[in-house]
Amino acid sequence: MRRDDHEHKKSLLSVALLSVLSVTSISALADSPTGYGRLDITLTNSEHGFTTQNRKEGTVLENNFSRVGVKGSEKINDDYELLYQMEVQVNGATNEGDDEVFKSRSTYFGIASKTMDTVLVGRNDTVMKSSKGNVEAFDLTNAAYNRMIASQDRKADGITYYSPTIAGAFTINGTYLVDDNYEGSDETQYAISVISGDKKLKKQNYYVAGAYNTIGGVDAYRAVGQVKMGDFKVACSKTQKAKPTLTKKVIRTFLL
């Protein structure tokens, strides 16, 4: 064999190996975790500072929950997949970052099924909080529900359960906080919700939810309703604390 033919075959082999490696790399990248983030800074003027992030009066810069995270899934078989998410709030743009640059947000792993249940373990929004759907018009601002209404919690050391759609009509969901991780509480901490419809108002033109919560020492009920009529959306949400000595809160939101 001549030397130049040998070199030519080596070159073809190198090209073939590079092609295989490139295809493998692209395939691996497609299954890799997804990174995401949000930077949201606002200029706010408040006379009393009641709902500003740091209760400050006057004109202030506010960090509206800027965050970064990684999330993804890994297929187990045709029905089951592993889910995971790691997310932190980033406070570096405001004075809050001088003491605490990062703050914990939803971080969990779990298993999901196309035909059965989904179970997540770690830190997550309680099903009481998520039962609001998309009714909250000022989410992620200083007028968010969690600034004014109790039971809007994102808790760690918890187990979140989402049922499949039952009878094609509704789902039953639950949050349970592991007792021994909350030794300071004498009460079993949990939340349950029943949801029907589509919170994005795409598959159905309505969203209805009911929820009950004992987490954080707050016994509360919630009812949520939203309907879409053409381009017009009407929504109503009521959250009521079970103990009569505590204040009732009612929120109504009308959206065009």
pLDDT digits (tens, 9 = 90+) for 157-186: 999 999 999 999 999 999 999 999 998 777
In a domain, 93, yes or no: yes
**pLDDT single digits (tens) 203-242:** 999 999 999 999 988 999 999 999 999 989 999 999 998 7
- Do 167 and 99 lie in one domain? The reply is no
- Do 159 and 218 lie in one domain? The reply is yes
- Do 177 and 54 lie in one domain? The reply is no
The residue count of the chain comes to: 256
In a domain, 251, yes or no: yes
Secondary structure letter of residue 10 according to DSSP: H
Measured in degrees and rounded to the nearest 5, phi and psi for residue 146 equal -65, -15
- Do 47 and 127 lie in one domain? The reply is no
CA dihedral 121, 125, 128, 129 (to 10 degrees): -170
Residue 55: the pLDDT is 78
> What domain range includes position 97?
32-78+86-109
In a domain, 20, yes or no: no
Which stretches in the chain have pLDDT values below 50?
A: 8, 10, 12-30, 244-256
Tally of CA atoms within 13 A in the half-sphere of 170 that contains its CB: 10
- Do 64 and 184 lie in one domain? The reply is no
Q: Looking at the 3D structure of the chain, how many domains does it have? A: 2
- Do 153 and 179 lie in one domain? The reply is yes
Residue 209: the pLDDT is 98
Residue 252: the pLDDT is 45
Residue 96: the pLDDT is 73
In a domain, 5, yes or no: no
Residue 90: the pLDDT is 93
- Do 174 and 100 lie in one domain? The reply is no
Residue 132: the pLDDT is 94
Residue 201's alpha-carbon distances to 63, 134, 194, in angstroms, are 30, 9, 17
- Do 252 and 143 lie in one domain? The reply is yes
